[in-house]
Amino acid sequence: MAGLPESDPLSEAPETVRDLAISAARFVEKAVGAPLDCSQDTLPILDHYLAEASDVGDDVLALVVPACGAYFGEVVRRHLGEGVWQCPEEDYKSWRLELPSASISFNPIGVAMEVAAAEDADGWGAAFSVPPPDRAAARDAADVLGEVAEEVYYTFAVRFDVLVQVHSTLRRARANVSEP
């Protein structure tokens, strides 16, 4: 499979997600010559690729955005060591990646929509959803990273960093609550 390492990093992904993520790896390798290996280090490459693809047109974006979103979701799932996909076939707006240990969910394809458009994508569920009691802690965790310029906010790399920070904070908070 071009663009991904020999050991299949997507073997645990649902088939639809796996197929889309493999497509993203192939698209990126063909366009920029850089292989993707499902590591967070490849997110700037994905950002570059999607920025270039965004200038091509809506037909291309209809193929590329879901693929990039699935790839991003798999990078998150692999890095955090957890993640449950909810992915009704062909209903990309309804997709969710749930991170149970921190009670976070979001739509990775929605994130890709926002990265492609460089603006919020209403109705796509790109924002990290947390239960109301955890929202203040999630905001505080994101604030630790400092203010982010708008053009940088709409990148996979920054979304990943924010998500990792929020996830870590909420997991620690849950562990402290559950200790006797």
**pLDDT category of residue 56 using cuts at 50, 70 and 90:** confident
What's the pLDDT at 6?
Answer: 47
Average pLDDT on 25-29 reads 96
What per-residue confidence (pLDDT) applies to 102? 94
Report the pLDDT value the prediction gives residue 1, as an integer from 0 to 100: 42
Q: What is the mean pLDDT of the chain?
A: 90
Mean pLDDT of 153-177: 92
pLDDT for 78-135, tens place per residue? 999 999 999 998 799 999 999 999 999 999 999 999 999 999 999 999 999 999 999 9
Instruction: State how far the Cα of 120 lies from the Cα of 67, in Å rounded to an integer.
Output: 19
